[in-house]
Amino acid sequence: MSDERRYLQELIIAELGVPASFDADTEIERRIEFLADQLRRSRATAYVLGISGGVDSGTAGRLCQLAVERVRAEGGQATFVAMRLPYGVQVDEADAQRSLDFIKPDETLVVDVKPATDAMVESVRHAGLGDREDFHVGNIKARQRMISQYVVAGARGGLVVGTDHAAEAVMGFYTKYGDGACDLTPLSGLTKRRVRAIGSRLGASDELTGKVPTADLETNTPGLPDEVALGVTYEEIDDFLEGREVSEQAAATIIAAHRRTAHKRAMPLAV
Ligand SMILES: Nc1ncnc2c1ncn2[C@@H]1O[C@H](COP(=O)(O)OP(=O)(O)OC[C@H]2O[C@@H]([n+]3cccc(C(=O)O)c3)[C@H](O)[C@@H]2O)[C@@H](O)[C@H]1O
Ligand SMILES: Nc1ncnc2c1ncn2[C@@H]1O[C@H](COP(=O)(O)OP(=O)(O)OP(=O)(O)O)[C@@H](O)[C@H]1O
Ligand SMILES: [Mg+2]
């Protein structure tokens, strides 16, 4: 990697808070305590999180469940509400159910985001969605999921949990104010392989931790692997974020995505 790219790599690692070393048990304890502490401080009484069947929500969901159990053991009031948010019938629904079996949430709610998404598409179609309609509809799905989680959080005095981590943050690979909208992020600073390691250590099956990551947003390409959409592998993104050497091409792709999506990691532009 060129000197300039190495320099940018270090800035990005610092910005996203990726530590040089990693110990799964230490990180699990730190993150459960963070979640428990935010409940104690905010006096919120619930955590709310969408469970897709992917490793990020499976891992974050289990951390939430362990945190609310810790708060309850101290005499506090706290519940974890897992939300299934399919768009109609989800092709990998069985994975989502396996994820719920692993998390063992206090409560599971199911909200189908299809009717609201389709109604919104119908209402805005006359504005012209252009030739990337499926892509734009994907972002509507992500935002409908955000709306349903905030409704439940509002009704239960709860907080919405996000699954953003360093490998997703660096690429800006999320929908702004969709799955990017949340009250706290218990996976922040983690690379994808570290999320998997935490999930594994918590007892998730290899099926869940090894599942191919997918945003699964576009109706015409269900389960499209993130790596196809990103043009770089998570191995390369993780190596980059853990300070290792990656190919010039991978470094260029990551640095360009980071720059292009800076607005997603910042507060709205203000005068
Ligand atoms: N320079 C700038 N300063 C301030 N704001 C700026 C901006 N450029 C764009 N924007 C705003 O940002 C918008 C574009 O951002 P956004 O709406 O997010 O849309 P966009 O980044 O185009 O699309 C979201 C991407 O994230 C992926 N995704 C979404 C959800 C979940 C997952 C997953 O992995 O699970 C992945 C999805 O597949 C897609 O590739 C623009 O429409 C504009 O409003
Ligand atoms: N079908 C769904 N049902 C419930 N929640 C969902 C669904 N799709 C996405 N989400 C929410 O949006 C978040 C972002 O999706 P993302 O794909 O990044 O994570 P993941 O599916 O948990 O893991 P992976 O990135 O490995 O696929 C999820 O963690 C989850 O909270
Ligand atoms: Mg996913």
Residue-wise pLDDT tens digits, 170-199:
999 999 999 999 999 999 999 999 999 999
Ligand 2 neighbour 158 (Cβ under 6 A):
no
Model confidence pLDDT, tens digit, residues 77-136 = 999 999 999 999 999 999 999 999 999 999 999 999 999 999 999 999 888 888 899 999
Is 214 annotated in a binding site? The answer is yes
Average pLDDT over every residue of 33-37: 98
Please tell me the residue having the least CA distance from ligand 1 atom 9.
263
What are the structure tokens assigned to 217, written together?
A: 């947003």
What are the structure tokens assigned to 159, written together?
A: 């907080």
Ligand 2 neighbour 5 (Cβ under 6 A):
no
Q: How confident is the model at residue 166 (pLDDT cuts 50, 70, 90)?
A: very high
Please report which ligand is nearest the Cα atom of 96. 2
pTM, full prediction: 0.97
Distance CA 168, CA 192 (A): 8
pLDDT confidence of residue 30: 98
pLDDT confidence of residue 127: 81
Q: What three-state secondary structure class fits 231?
A: coil
Q: Is residue 70 scored above 90 in pLDDT? A: yes
Q: Is residue 16 scored above 90 in pLDDT? A: yes
Please tell me the residue having the least CA distance from ligand 2 atom 28.
57
Please report which ligand is nearest the Cα atom of 231. 1
Share of the chain above pLDDT 90, in %: 97
pLDDT confidence of residue 125: 87
Ligand 1 neighbour 117 (Cβ under 6 A):
no
Ligand 1 neighbour 146 (Cβ under 6 A):
no
Domains detected in the chain: 20-224 (3.40.50.620)
pLDDT confidence of residue 128: 80
Of 107, 59, 110, residue with least CA distance to 86: 110
Amino acid letter, 17: G
**Which segment of 123-132, 139-148, 167-176, 210-219 scores lowest on mean pLDDT?**
123-132
Q: What are phi and psi of 91, to 5 degrees?
A: -60, -35
pLDDT confidence of residue 131: 86
Is 163 annotated in a binding site? The answer is yes
Please tell me the residue having the least CA distance from ligand 1 atom 41.
176
Please tell me the residue having the least CA distance from ligand 1 atom 22.
175
Active site (annotated) includes residue 218: no
Ligand 2 atom with the smallest distance to the CA of 50 is: 5
Average pLDDT over every residue of 128-153: 95
Q: Is residue 266 scored above 90 in pLDDT? A: yes
Averaged pLDDT score across all residues of the chain: 97
Is 157 annotated in a binding site? The answer is no
Please report which ligand is nearest the Cα atom of 61. 2
pLDDT confidence of residue 126: 85
Tallying the residues shown for the chain, one arrives at 271
pLDDT confidence of residue 264: 98
Ligand 2 atom with the smallest distance to the CA of 49 is: 31
Q: How confident is the model at residue 159 (pLDDT cuts 50, 70, 90)?
A: very high
Q: How confident is the model at residue 143 (pLDDT cuts 50, 70, 90)?
A: very high
How far apart are the CA of 200 and the centre of ligand 1, in A?
30
Answer whether 66's CB lies under 8 Å from 32's CB.
yes
Distance CA 174, CA 183 (A): 15
pLDDT confidence of residue 23: 98
- HSE-CB for 209 with a 13 A CA cutoff: 17
Active site (annotated) includes residue 56: yes
